[in-house]
Every structure is written in structure tokens, then in C-alpha cells.
Structure 1
């Protein structure tokens, strides 16, 4: 039976989410524990780590920051510069870059940083988008892997040991850099946070003619290279109170551009602005688990006391899980065109990955859809 957290609006179908005996999820409990954290002590610890890795003679960058140009990476750059660091910023180019995404990348560079943009082979990338969508129901699989592999490869090549990640989704881990001894990133750490979804890079060889040499950007450096450079990482959200909304406010004050209206499938206009494929990614989460990006955002704001749980329920009903006919104004058929898929073929893939236990069906077991192609979730519990 589908159950919801009594404090936020997250269902228990979310992977790694657990409801305690009071019906409160572990994400809410984790946020609750933040009140007891000594953030001044955490910031002091951060400054000590940064001093340890700062280039002593100024002949190399102090750290590497993986960036997309979004609100969080803009915040990371602004904050590191405020702390006196000279970062090298690295973008693993997104799959279907939007105009506003390109504008925000340029704004990030204008903060006064050295910047590297790595653009993987687009012919290979389209194959990986298609394979990810059809095999694991995630069109963004290559992007989520490349976000981790490409900056780490650049860190090795440029001999920059310290990588500054943003928020850790588990919200309780400092990262290897926090350890004085044995603080090198290892393959296990990378694969834990690298989002492979059970589809390993080596599994792709031979699919659609792909060879090992096509997959270099999505492959981690060797353990020997990681140890030689001493590549390590930390999650900034462990040391500073992390909040996407305040990150957005600070980024906007530094020139970050938001969307002109609420982003499709979302509640806000300040995030996931760079990739036209994101709407498909978020929709598949809804099909698999019964919640989408609107639920994620509603829960974040409920925990921070910005909206009530009842308001969150209404907003989720308004915005979550709508069929992605467009994203950032680009029609679905145009988004699917590079993958050589029609909308009809896409709908069949959607149906294949839909968890049919979560949605209304007719007497023959077929999913019931309204005139816009939207499903109706079976709500066993409030909301």
C-alpha cells in the first residue's frame, strides 16, 4: 500500500526512503537533525580543508568545481571566490542545451573564473540517450554519469586534487577530503554517487556499434591516476547550510537568469533550466515511483516552513506527473528527433516503464489516460 510521509508529501515508493513508527520519512528526520549541527564548527573545518589544498605558489588552481551554470553551481563558484580560492570550473556539456542554459554558463564565466567545457561526441551521446531511455528508463543516463566522470578526468589531467561538489543527496557525508588520512577518491566512492542505475559503462560496448574508445568521457580514471594526483572531493552542503532557494537568490543577485514562468512539471522557475531532456527524465521518475519534480520541491519547502503540507498537496496535484509535451518551451517531437524516436514510440516506452500498481487501469488492465495523455495515480493514503 502506497503511504506518504505525515510531515512532507513524499511517498514511500521513493528508493531509500523509510517511514518511521510516527509515519515521518528519514529525509524529514535528517533535516530535523540539522538544527543540532554546529555550522560555525563545520565552516571552520571547511576553511581548514581549503587551506590544506590551496596552491601554495599560485602556479595551479586551488580546486576544481563541476558546473552546469545552474543556480547551485553558480552559488558554489561565488562562495569559493568569496573564500579566496581560485577555482577551475569544468562543464560536462549537457545533452540538449537550452538558450537560457547557455546564457547562464556565460554569466558563470563572467564571475571571473577559468573555465573548461568538455563536449562529448554528439553522435555517441545520442546513442547513449536512446539506450538509457530504452534500457533503464533514463534519457539522462549519460549526463548523470558524465557529471562525475568528466570533472574527475580533468582533475587528473590538470593535476588539481580538490573537487568541490555541491549538495550530497544523503545530506550526511563530508567526503574524502574531510579525512586527514586516506582521503583520496576511490572507485567505490565515485560509483556510489555517480548514478549508474545498474547500467555499467562496460555493458554498453557492442550496443549500437559502440566501442570502448567511444566511451572514454564516461569512464573513470584508473585508481593509479587518482592516487598519483591525490584526487579528492567534498560536498559543500555538508559544511554550509544548503538550500536551493537561497542559492537561487544569491545566484540571481550575481546575474543568474530564471525562466519566464514555472518550468513544466516543476513548482518554480529557477532550476533545471539547461537541458530540454530534463522533462522526460522527471516524467519517468513519476512513472516508476509515483512522484516527480514538483513533489521533490514541495517537500523541500515544507521542511523549511515556507509552505504548509496542505498547500504542498494542492501544488503537487496541480503540477506533478503531467505528460511532457514540451520542456522549456521546446515541443516533445523536437526533443525526440535526435534520438530518432517518434512521440508514438516514446509513449510505448513510457507504458513499458510505468509501475502499473500506482495508476488507474481499465477492466482489461490498460492504463487510463485523459485527453492530454496524463495518468491518474491511485492514492491509497493522503495526499
Structure 2
């Protein structure tokens, strides 16, 4: 196995890289027009992918695990603190509808891809279950389905590599679609128009720089926002673990307990729900905290750097080229269904691309895209709807996996 220039256990160097590259990505996005169009999120992802493939940084490290286990959970409540709950419920209904329509594309793509490749890829019934779950809610479902169907370790690793490589490319495509005149001419784009209307007339200032203006922030703001986020994560995760431990689980329990466990026994869904509740109960407290969006967004940028790291293109080409074809078919079908059904049911382009992102990447990547684009009114709705994908995806993955097993 090739070794990287920075060792996996060189913790400080890797944290320096993650934070440094995230900061550089934000700087480029706010300084140069070309970078603003690409978005800092994509710059962060592509840079990490390039350095990992050049063996400068390792593909796996406990530092990356820390981002998944600690940074991402902290970012979620921080980004929910400034939410207007009444507007969320008014707008999330539309987002839920397009999310479910987009999920139809995932199901159709998985079935088509399975039928085409089941004779040439071993254990495709297990892979199909994993990817159907993952592409209806994100990586949480991937892990759940791989454990449920007891997929071989090397199979899981190869699929993860193919998945991450495809996601890196797919996120770039989704970021680019709103800037393409063909799509803008076919869909309404109210959120993009709102952002563009708010950009100042300074030609030297990018759209991102205009959006992320300097704001007044105090030491008390930093202290209360970070401390509150830590408390919410701690309470939510302990509550979810408690309920998961007392609610009956397994294949023999009835559907009520399965659904209940999926709702209140899931850490991220509990975190989102509890944060929304406390913001609703104490609106004045959260409205008076400054800087939560900025801190949460920086944490999300660390996440974007990390998801670019495992996309080892050489490993995909040498060990699992057909897996790349398998996930490509699913991704293309999801995007096709999202665009066609979104147009048919008169959804905005921003809602369509975010729904597709939430299906394939999960709520975190979709929220990060909304943040990067400045679509503030869609951040919370896509977080809430995308988090529901954790439950929906597990049932879709389980159903398709059990069906595929009978076809092998």
C-alpha cells in the first residue's frame, strides 16, 4: 500500500490541512469571480481529492473520523439557530414533495442498474441495498444497509470508493447546473434572483463576498453559540441512544416499533428535532446570538474537504470499474427524474437541485450547497426534509435488497 507524505497519525498536520484548505477555499470564493461561480465548497472538495490521489494526504485517518463524529453534528444546530420556524413549515411541504419525487429516480435507477449488471458484479443484491439506502438519504443509510445485509468488508470498501468518486463529480455538476442558462430558462429561479439582487454594484466584489458581509459579533456570541451547540448535541445523542436501547428492534418486531426507533432512536434526527423545538420555544435567545451561521458554515467547509479525500480514482479504475458504472446509472436516473418531475410539477430550479443533493448526499451536503449558494430560505427546509431521508432510505434499501436477493 502506498504511503502518503503526511502520515495518518500526524494529527496536527492533518488538522492544519483541513482548516487551512477550508480557509483558502473560502478566501478564493470571496476574492475571485471564477471561484465564486464554482463555489468554495467544490474547491475544498476537489483540492482534497487531488492531494489524496497524489498521496500527499492519507485516504483514512482518525482526524477525518473526528470531522464526521464531532464537527458535522456541531454544525447542524449552529445552522438551525436563526431559523424562522413558521416559514420552515410553510416552505418544507414543497421541499418534501420534490424530495420524494427525486427519490423515485433513485429507486428506478437502482432497479435498472441492478438488472443490467447483476450477472457481472458479485453480491450486487447487497450493493444495491446499500446504494439505494445511501442515495435516498446519505452515508448514514449506507452504513446501516452494509451492516444489515452483512456485506463483505472489501466489497464495502470498493463501493465506498466508487461512491465517493461519483459524489465528488456529481456535487460539481449540481453546483454548476444553476449557472447554466439552459436550465435557468426552463425553471423559475427566485432564490438565485434574490441573491443576485442583493449583490452590491462593486464589480471587484464577488457574490460570495457580498453575501458574507462583516457582522458585529461579541465574545458572548461565540461562547453562547458554541456552548449551546455542544449541549444540544450531547443531550440529543444521549436521548437517541436511550430510546434506541429501550425500543424493541430487529426483523421480528412490528412496523410501529421499527418506525418509532427510526425516528427517536436516530441521533441526527433527534438533534434536528430537538434544535427546532428549543428554537421555537426560546426564539428571542437564539435570534440575539450573532455569528452562528458563520461558525456553522466554516465547520461545513471542513466536511467538504473530508468528503473529497476518499475519492481515490486509481482504486476505482483498478479494482471496481463496474461499480462506478453501477452508481453512475443511479445518479443519472435520480438527476433525470428530479429535473423532469420538477419541471412537470412547477418546482423552482433551486428546490430541484437541492432535493437531488439531499437524496444522494444527505441533508448535510444539501444544506452546505444552499449555504454556498446563498439560498438562505431553503437551508432549514432541506435539512429537515433531508434528515427524514435517513428513515426513508433505510426502508427503500431494505425492500430493494430483499427483492434483489430473490433475483440472484
TM-score category (smaller protein): under 0.3
Tell me the TM-score normalized by structure 2.
Answer: 0.26
Higher helix proportion (structure 1 or 2): 2
Write 1 or 2 for the structure with the bigger share of strand.
1
Q: TM-score, normalized by length of structure 1?
A: 0.27
Q: Which of 1 and 2 has higher RCO (CA within 8 Å, sep 6+)?
A: 2
